[in-house]
Structure 1
Amino acid sequence: MWGEILGDTTVAAAMLDRLLHRSVVLNLDGDSYRLRNHHDAAEQLRKATTGTPANLLT
């Protein structure tokens, strides 16, 4: 993937190697706070413009 983005897989591998050399990689599971906030804001906008919650529109 990074090789496609940067146009060269060797350069991408070298960059990632240097970035991750002394790093600790954390895998996080769960919902995104940004996405949750986006959904909440969209829901409030729907209620304000239509007066109907999104779950009742489907």
Structure 2
Amino acid sequence: MSGTDKIKNATEKVVGTGKEAVGKVTDNPKLEAEGKADHTKGSLKQAGENVKDALK
């Protein structure tokens, strides 16, 4: 995995966690769900990259 991909995936996870927290505080279920989705997407991308690296 390139360094750029690692940073993008980590950023997506952090942004997702932030959105989720803001959604909880503001009682905004849509924003909370969007944050969870972003966090999960970042995690899955990172896992996929790790698998590709392991197969090299």
TM range (shorter): 0.3 to 0.5
TM-score (norm 1): 0.36
Higher helix share: 2
In the superposition, the TM-score normalised over structure 2's length comes to 0.37
